[in-house]
Amino acid sequence: MTDHAITLPVGPGTVLLDPNDGAPLQFVDPDAADRRFLLDETTDAFHSSEHRWGSGFVITNVGSTRWSQPAERRLDGPGVQLTYPLLDTLTLTVTRTGGERLLERYELTNTGAAPLVVTSLGINTPFRDLYESAATSLAQAVHAHVWTGGADAWVWAQPMSGTGRSLGLIVRSGALWSYSVESRNQNSSSNVRGHLLLQATDLARNSTAFGGQPPIEIASGESWLLEWEVGFFASREAFLAASTPQLTVDRLYAEVGQQITVLGNTAGLRVDGEASVEREGERVAVTGTQHGAVHLSTDSAQTAVLFHSPLPDLVRRRVRFILDQHRPTERPLPYRYAFVPYDTATGLTQTTNGWADWSDGAERVAMPALLQEARRRGWVDSPGEVDEALVGFADFARNLLLDESAAPRWGSTVKAPVRIYNSPWLAHFFATQHDHGGADDDLDLAARILERSFELGAGEHLSIGHPEALVLVTERLLEAGQADRATGLRDLLVQQAAHFAKITVNLPSHEVNYEQSMVAPLVTLYAVAEQLEGQDRFLGPLDQAVRWLRAFGGPQPHIRLNEIGIRHWDGYWFGRDRQWGDIFPHHWSVLTAVALRQLPTTMRTAESDSAAREIFHANLINIFADGSATCAFTVPSAVDGRPGYRADPLANDQDWPLTLWLRQLESGDV
């Protein structure tokens, strides 16, 4: 396809354009020849010419259409000019010019006699954000961190390895107010992020996305211009230095009653949410009056921040809601002591319906685990009721979530294979129950669950929470005088770390081929093994894994996006509405925060500690003021045409952030 491509310079690299339609097919970094910044029609099955870079769609008051093949193509010095007659009275002209950066101009011209209003406009930018094997992803793919902050908009396509040049797109004229995703459905499933479309507006499909979508009004004979440049950048710092934000905030989260300062071009600042506003010149102080997100926007830029309830208060309300709404009290004993999903739209608990991710096991263990942590800190209003619920769940889990060998079932009624992911969650629960009640059989069961997990293959699996559960259980075994048993488990963990250090990039696929919730447990595994062994054997692999982990999160100045690892399938697997697409923040994003907190002191920095705090606080946005919650907030304005930027009504697996935060809460965190 690229044998006769038009080649334009882009700084130290090049961009290859199709000779027929002038679309960029690939950006090439000479120092990373195998890296693919864009999807490739010859290798990526779901990608085709209809989603090439620069194709798109428009919805107007006089009609709607897509564009792909230009009616005219003209070589123009170090670039091309393309003309697309879109509607009877609307023409699109696209120019691409090479140089230090690729300059792209998208110009809409109203050729009619009447004003024209554009209510949606999306441009394809098919960044190669997909997950094959871990080794292939790390060598060839990129994480596309999208920021549609109006005139402040940009995209940073960072290599998944966290090393080498990134590709950055920065808006220089015009604005991008949202983005959408296409090709996200059961066919593409969980290993493909889809086609990313950058949008100058999506008013027609989702008027409230990202706080609001303005129309584009073009007078008769006039034009509207969107201009951006695309180039290679050596680092995150170099990329951010090249952007020129018009609207900034001093922080993205604060407690209710505290202030967040807005700076920059704040003229006409609009505040959408429960907050009060005070202005001193260009400086605006916004004070939250209720728990929840607040959108801030001007005619040129936008962002969103979070004002949150004090953590103890929010935990109390969530615990109360779990006790009142997440227990299937209609069931017989001991099934009624389970914790199940809850539909906030209907007020009903959610039955499993043969769908394992709606079961009463697996990720739902977060709810009793949160009760344990809240009870330990005294952040509950009815300790006796919490204790009774925990004793009941322990009986339920012992008999119905574990088989006779201590292998974990997916749920009490799910006819599915053993799920090794569940082992550390149940082991941690029973070890914590032992701490609260002192029962020897709880500690013995916790140890047996971990021992059985190694028999089932945990030594070659990156189970979430596995190193932390093993540390807790072995500490309790030592206290109980069972040194041999504790040493045996610790030796298995060190052997596990050595195994992964040996295979390096060749991580085995789990339920997804490669994801942040594999790499974060890998970082934790190396950190814990290094602490146990103390011979510096795992510092090199740990440093590499941290780079992989940090690459999942981007620097977007938005409470839902900043440092949040990319994840784009939980709305389908865990939500009620079965919607694919970016979920930010997803509950496992806190694994990055947990891993950063467990780094050796020589590797922890003020920046990594700050990133951890950002992630923990961002996840408070999925818990609501009354203690209800959502398992998935779909961020794109639309996914395969269905409106997004909305919370799924199901509360399901979102309690892990609170649970994990409380387990390692440090002074000064809140």
The tokens describing 643, both together, are 């409106």
424 cis-preceded (ω within 30 degrees of 0): no
Query: What domains sit in the chain, N to C, each tagged with a CATH number?
Result: 6-233 (2.70.98.40), 247-308 (2.60.40)
Find out whether 632 and 644 touch, Cβ atoms under 8 Å.
no
Find out whether 470 and 524 touch, Cβ atoms under 8 Å.
no
Which residue blocks in 504-605 are alpha helix, DSSP H?
516-533, 539-551, 570-573, 590-597
Phi-psi region of 347 (alpha: psi -120 to 50; beta: other; left: phi over 0): left
Inform me whether the pLDDT recorded for 263 exceeds 50. yes
* Beta strands at 642-643 and 638-639: parallel, antiparallel or unpaired: antiparallel
Q: C-alpha 644: how far from its chain's center?
A: 15
Kindly report, residue by residue over 65-85, the tens digit of the pLDDT.
Answer: 999 999 999 987 789 999 999
Nearest to 325 by CA among 346, 308, 355: 346
Q: Provide the residue count of the chain.
A: 670
The tokens describing 661, both together, are 């935060």
* Beta strands at 13-17 and 166-173: parallel, antiparallel or unpaired: unpaired
Q: Average pLDDT of 168-183?
A: 98
The tokens describing 295, both together, are 């959108």
Kindly report, residue by residue over 324-350, the tens digit of the pLDDT.
Answer: 999 999 999 999 999 999 999 999 999
The tokens describing 93, both together, are 């002209």
| Cα 368 from Cα 428, distance rounded (Å) | 11
Nearest to 359 by CA among 403, 322, 328: 328
Which letter does DSSP use for residue 200 in this model? E
Inform me whether the pLDDT recorded for 262 exceeds 70. yes
Site of tokens 């669950």? 449
Q: Calculate the average pLDDT of the chain.
A: 96
The tokens describing 568, both together, are 């784009």
Inform me whether the pLDDT recorded for 1 exceeds 80. no
| 396-432 burial: b if 16+ Cβ within 10 Å, else e | bbbebbbeeebbbbbbbebeeebbbbbbbbbbbbbbb
With pLDDT > 90 as the criterion, what percentage of the chain qualifies?
96
215 cis-preceded (ω within 30 degrees of 0): no
Which letter does DSSP use for residue 556 in this model? -
Band the pLDDT of 669: cuts 50, 70, 90: low
Site of tokens 């440090």? 666
| Cα 122 from Cα 55, distance rounded (Å) | 8
Kindly report, residue by residue over 373-390, the tens digit of the pLDDT.
Answer: 999 999 999 999 999 999
With 0-12 CB in 10 A as exposed, 13-18 as middle and 19+ as buried, what is 77? Answer: exposed
| Cα 163 from Cα 172, distance rounded (Å) | 27
Q: Which helix (H) or strand (E) holds 479?
A: helix 466-479
The tokens describing 46, both together, are 């779901």
Nearest to 242 by CA among 148, 172, 164: 172
| Cα 498 from Cα 304, distance rounded (Å) | 43
Q: C-alpha 296: how far from its chain's center?
A: 22
Kindly report, residue by residue over 388-435, the tens digit of the pLDDT.
Answer: 999 999 999 999 999 999 999 999 999 888 999 999 999 999 999 999
Inform me whether the pLDDT recorded for 39 exceeds 90. yes
Q: Average pLDDT of 122-131?
A: 97
Band the pLDDT of 438: cuts 50, 70, 90: confident
With 0-12 CB in 10 A as exposed, 13-18 as middle and 19+ as buried, what is 339? Answer: buried
| Cα 524 from Cα 597, distance rounded (Å) | 9
Residues 6+ apart with CB under 8 A from 438: none
Nearest to 65 by CA among 45, 49, 44, 86: 86
Q: Average pLDDT of 204-217?
A: 98
| Cα 462 from Cα 399, distance rounded (Å) | 26
Give the torsion sign (CA, 235, 564, 584, 186).
positive
Q: Average pLDDT of 183-208?
A: 96
| Cα 319 from Cα 337, distance rounded (Å) | 15
Site of tokens 């808006």? 171
pTM beyond cutoff 0.75? yes
Inform me whether the pLDDT recorded for 282 exceeds 90. no
Which letter does DSSP use for residue 121 in this model? E
| DSSP string covering 390-426 | HHHHHHHIIIIIB-TTSPBPS-SS------TTHHHHH
| Cα 577 from Cα 350, distance rounded (Å) | 13
| Cα 491 from Cα 489, distance rounded (Å) | 5
Helix 422-437 to helix 366-377 angle, to the nearest 10 degrees?
Answer: 30
Nearest to 425 by CA among 441, 403, 401: 401
